[in-house]
Amino acid sequence: MAEQIFIVENGTLTKFETDDFVEEVYIPDCVKKIGCRSFYESPVGKVVIPDSVTTIESEAFLCCRLTEIEIPDSVTSIGLWAIGYGQDLFHPWFNPIPFRRPVILYGKKGSEAERYAKDNDYCYCEHITEFQEIKIDTENDDVIE
């Protein structure tokens, strides 16, 4: 199993490090904000964000291999180019560009996650993100996918 290191300063996740690909990452409950480029080039498949997080800063997951991310209702702000973007290797000083593969955002209807997915859905006429609503089985308190 790959080692995972979370560097958290005053409630802000400033850096995630791992020595190998990680299928799923569960961000610790002590995190309130996911900082700019904290997952830069991280080899992760899915990220699950706890209810303690309120902000995902710009470029938080830039150049990350991310394919899925669960975003709770507690997140009220997602910054520019936070999810689903990479850098142009020939022009790194330009704005980030959308990945050519989808990133699935899981969240609730009317949430910041849904707004971000809709705002970033069709860049350069290429589908880069998809939104799927999280449904809760209230009887068992389980997530239904």
Overall average pLDDT of the 18-27 stretch: 93
| pLDDT at site 124 | 36
| pLDDT at site 102 | 72
The whole-angstrom separation of Cα 70 and Cα 134 is 8
Per residue in 55-84, pLDDT (tens digit) is 999 999 988 888 889 999 999 999 988 988
What pTM was computed for the model?
A: 0.80
Q: Is pLDDT larger for residue 122 or for residue 30?
A: 30
| Domain range annotation of the chain | 4-144
| pLDDT at site 119 | 81
Q: How many CA atoms lie within 13 A of 40 on its CB side?
A: 11
